[in-house]
Homo-oligomer: A and B are copies of this chain.
Amino acid sequence: MDEPEETLSLIIFSGTDDKLTSASTLVVGAAALGRRVDILLQFWGLDAFRADSVHREHGVAPEAPSDGARRLHDAHLAHWADVFAQAKEVGEVSIHACAQSMDALGITEQQLDPLVDGVEGIAAFMAEANGPVVFI
């Protein structure tokens, strides 16, 4: 077994609670294994990280079965924002807002949740992507 040295680069495009739950699980799992995680928030994923929005309901992916939202809600999983916070505590996890999406959606840096470490362009993100790149 070789040490996992490659960064897990993750673009979070989607902003529904089921996909964000899945993303946060992936990130905390990677961080717990000592893997660096670099996250770029785009479009609706970025929208979900606004400070006034994080803990609101964001629904589920529209493809979910008709009882999907209820089943997810009833499962009482840890909230994805808390799982991202936990991942940042146990490992080396950075979360940046995509500069283009900030402009496109008219979001300012002070509107973002403190989980977000700053704003970054795609070039800076890709320059650090020396391993898998995941789009959620």
Contact = CB atoms under 8 A, between A and B. Distances in A.
A25 interface: yes
A111 to B, nearest CB: 14
A134 interface: yes
Contact of A8 (B29, B61, B133): B133
A29 B104 contact: no
Contacts of A47: 65, 68
Looking at chain A's contact residues, is the secondary structure mostly helix, strand, loop, or mixed?
mixed
The interface size bin for chain A is 35 or more
Query: How many monomers of this protein are in the complex?
Result: 3
A132 to B, nearest CB: 4
A25 B65 contact: no
Interface of A: 2, 4, 8-9, 11, 13-16, 18-19, 22, 25-26, 28-30, 32-33, 35, 42-44, 47, 59, 61-65, 68, 71-72, 75, 77, 98, 100, 103-106, 121-123, 125-127, 129-136
